A and B are shown apart, each in its own frame.
Chain A
């Protein structure tokens, strides 16, 4: 099989207050996969995400990105390959203009001049936000800020897009527009979400986490249809939603 884009093995991590957040996580994501990371609050999903590009370092176990170990010497390389889109776009989009914000990542990678401009414009075009390049982020709508946040990561040309609650706080149309953009990108994707229909729409595989461990890993239709598994991990589908009855779009 191909080299996994991200691979963790035996990952353990506890926070300074003693709370064990990850208790031996083995996760592989291969190129081209769209994986949903599901689980109740406090299951360790966000902690796992922060390990994927070295924001948090494992206390036990290892993390590899495209075969490269995530250690301090490789941070620049790893952070280029793993693009994390955080939950609150206000945390991510911090420069005075959209253009400068999207340019922040590639500029940190050392790009300058026309090359930098091309990257930024391509990233903004990929999310349909070219027209906003000179606007100030605080003048944008929430949905626009979310898309700009994705562009800021795309500008680094990552090998995997990691999204933390991408559909949170979006209105239904914004939610659908974001789904269209994400499908269009067709990138390898790891998506942390409580929005199970959204995960079913966008992902092929589901990984369920609970209490710092991986509780299930399989095709998303099967995971969402397994009522015992779902109940054991505090996962619930919206009322009346039947994953078996949904024909997924090709």
Chain B
């Protein structure tokens, strides 16, 4: 339910015309309300939002590289089209990332996977996401042990030529993970797996939750529409 709301909210944000500054302010206010309702401290949100910085770097270049009309800002000629594009990316990316962060912070992974299942996501993809979450820790643990074993034999790579062992380690890790995949598959077969993951009924979200989530989405959609009308 939260998953559906987040996807719809992000769609509404993306559909908002970039000239409508006030509309983005309303979207942001909606998110702040949601974060507050989820009791997420602002510092936590800010740290999680750092993930979008690499994407924003690209946006920063747009005003310098863009074509078309130029405007003078602090003595630098900037492309007006580029400025708009940069603003567009900045605003929409931040709002979208914030919405995802709220979703991720207030929902456990199993619940999230169940939500994908209930929204009739292809079951193979959901199962793959589940496996990824389950085995990420196992693989990282294995990598950690290999790193310790390398270091224990005085392996401290300083220049590129010494990275060979790392490449070998990566290869070994790949092979081990592959073999583990085979063993997991055997274990699945041993418990009657025949190519289809069983479906587990997940509890449906209570109506109250739906209403709250849909109100947020409806507001966001209305704001996006108004943005276009009032342009």
A96–B131 Cα distance when bound, in Å, is 7
B201 touches A104 (CB 8 A): no
- Proximity string of chain A (58-79) to chain B, C-beta cutoff 8 Å, 1 when within and 0 when not: 0000000000000000011001
**B148 interfacial contact with A, CB 8 Å:** no
B-facing residues in A49-100 (Cβ within 8 Å): 50, 53, 55, 75-76, 79-80, 84, 86, 88, 90-92, 94-97, 100
| B interface size (C-beta, 8 A) | 26
Tell which of A90, A108, A137 touches B180, judged by Cβ atoms closer than 8 Å.
A90
A114–B189 Cα distance when bound, in Å, is 24
Q: Which B residues are CB-close (under 8 A) to A76?
A: 192, 194
**B134 interfacial contact with A, CB 8 Å:** yes
Q: Which B residues are CB-close (under 8 A) to A92?
A: 184, 187
**A103 interfacial contact with B, CB 8 Å:** yes
B110 touches A105 (CB 8 A): no
A96 touches B198 (CB 8 A): no
Q: Which B residues are CB-close (under 8 A) to A153?
A: 191
A92–B134 Cα distance when bound, in Å, is 12
Closest A residue by C-beta to B126: A96
Q: B113, B188, B189, B191: which has the most chain A beta carbons within 10 Å?
A: B191
B113 touches A105 (CB 8 A): no
Q: Which A residues are CB-close (under 8 A) to B184?
A: 91-92, 94
**Overall SS of chain A's interface:** helix
A103 touches B138 (CB 8 A): no
A-facing residues in B171-202 (Cβ within 8 Å): 180, 183-184, 186-194, 198-201
Closest B residue by C-beta to A162: B190
A138–B130 Cα distance when bound, in Å, is 12
Q: Which B residues are CB-close (under 8 A) to A86?
A: 183, 186-187, 190
A79 touches B200 (CB 8 A): no
**B4 interfacial contact with A, CB 8 Å:** no
Tell which of B133, B137, B180 touches A96, judged by Cβ atoms closer than 8 Å.
B133
- The 10 A-B pairs at the shortest CB distance, nearest first, are namely A107-B198, A108-B192, A105-B191, A91-B183, A138-B137, A96-B110, A92-B187, A84-B190, A79-B192, A97-B110
